[in-house]
Amino acid sequence: MKPDLSVSIGGLRLKNPVMSASGTFGYGLEFAPFYDISRLGAVIVKGLSLAPTPGNPPGRIVETAAGMLNAIGLQNIGVERFVADVVPRLEDAGATFVANIYGKTAEEYEQVAERLSAVPSLSAIEVNASCPNVREGGMAFGATAEGIAGLTARVRRRTGKPLWVKLSPNVSDIAGIAAAAEGAGADAVSLINTIMGMAVDHRSRRPRLANVTGGLSGPAIKPVALRMVWETCRRVRIPVIGIGGIRTAADALEFLLVGAAAVQVGTANFRNPRACVEIVEGIAAFFAEEGIGTVDGYRGSLVL
Ligand SMILES: Cc1cc2nc3c(=O)[nH]c(=O)nc-3n(C[C@H](O)[C@H](O)[C@H](O)COP(=O)(O)O)c2cc1C
């Protein structure tokens, strides 16, 4: 029996629960040489802003013992070029795609969301309320329940698209912040973004990142992400999308087990460009082996 991997994220049906995480998969097209990107639940594109943004100066990436630090600074081509040049190619590829967005101000978030709402083939908007690497990258909104509620409500009024709010782990009560997003009209929350970190060179006595601090991602953050997703699943009724250090199908299954409705895979794409699709195959193989027919037949079944 072939398991049905489809999942529902607040009314949006995805063919499977595996998505690429924003900022680690370009605009999706970069991965088309490696496999058919329409096989993913969804492609989440690099964070888009109103105007094109060059990002931070180099060094922007440092490898760490079990992951990486980045301070890209939300480099992107801007929403207009995305709509004109990238969207038609994602449509041709048959991909389900979601736009990750950010702004320097709440107005800018609204404007980007409104512009993208006019793109019929776009499946959802994911608001990055959590980037630690630019002063205006959403952390001002994402750090408190009031901030997240205000931003979510404002974007909600400007779009009829499914609205996902991506949360920062650099807070003391992530479940409370998720509940605030839910209360303000989010259709789903995605978590976690990167954890604030730092790397220095003991010889040159200089920081390794031009930005000095950066966001830690990869296997190192998985236990933290899993705990935060578990806590949030117990607190909110909207779907929770689990992100953080997922590298294998077993990692993805762990997030589903604690209640996530779907997952996103980030840093693993740099090591293995086929990571996402191999995780889809691995979940299907596990379900077939265990006689599990649907994702809902497994999700949230953690035995305590
Ligand atoms: C190089 C890089 C760029 C990223 N850019 C974005 C971004 O533009 N928007 C966003 O919401 N998250 C961004 N992230 C965060 C990831 O989407 C993801 O939440 C985080 O890396 C944790 O997942 P992982 O451990 O699987 O990488 C970025 C991460 C990395 C490593």
Q: How far, in Å, from the CA of 292 to the mean position of ligand 1? A: 31
- Does residue 81 register a pLDDT over 80? yes
- Does residue 200 register a pLDDT over 70? yes
Q: In whole angstroms, what is the distance from residue 115 CA to residue 296 CA?
A: 34
* Band of pLDDT at residue 287, cut at 50, 70 and 90: very high
* CA dihedral sign, ordered 43, 44, 50, 54: negative
Write down the pLDDT at residue 104: 87
* Half-sphere exposure of residue 70: CA atoms within 13 angstroms, side-chain side: 17
* Band of pLDDT at residue 37, cut at 50, 70 and 90: very high
Strand segments (E) across the chain: 7-9, 12-14, 18-20, 42-44, 61-64, 67-70, 97-101, 122-128, 163-166, 188-191, 195-198, 200-201, 206-207, 213-217, 240-243, 262-265
Q: Determine which one of 18, 87, 112, 131 is catalytic.
A: 131
| Of 137 and 289, the one with more pLDDT | 289
Task: Please state the φ and ψ torsions of residue 133, each to the nearest 5 degrees.
Answer: -100, -5
Cβ–Cβ < 8 Å for 135, 141: no
The torsion of the CA quartet 177, 122, 91, 255, rounded to 10 degrees, works out to 30
To the query of whether residue 233 is one of the catalytic residues in this protein, the response is no
If one residue of 27, 217, 265, 276 were mutated to test the ligand 1 pocket, choosing by the most ligand atoms within 8 A of its CB, it would be: 217
pLDDT mean over 175-185: 98
* CA dihedral sign, ordered 142, 147, 150, 154: negative
- pLDDT tens-place string over residues 1-29: 799 999 999 989 999 999 999 999 999 99
Q: How far, in Å, from the CA of 158 to the mean position of ligand 1? A: 25
Longest dimension (CA), the chain: 59
Residue 300 burial (C-beta neighbours within 10 Å; 0-12, 13-18, 19+): middle
pTM above 0.75, yes or no: yes
The mean of the pLDDT values for the chain is 96
Q: What residues does ligand 1 touch, defined as CB less than 6 Å away?
A: 21-24, 46-47, 68, 70, 72, 74, 100, 128, 131, 166, 193-194, 217-218, 221, 243-246, 265-268
Residue 217 burial (C-beta neighbours within 10 Å; 0-12, 13-18, 19+): buried
Q: How far, in Å, from the CA of 14 to the mean position of ligand 1? A: 21
Please give the number of the atom of ligand 1 that sits closest to the Cα of 21.
17
Q: How far, in Å, from the CA of 193 to the mean position of ligand 1? A: 6
* Band of pLDDT at residue 132, cut at 50, 70 and 90: low
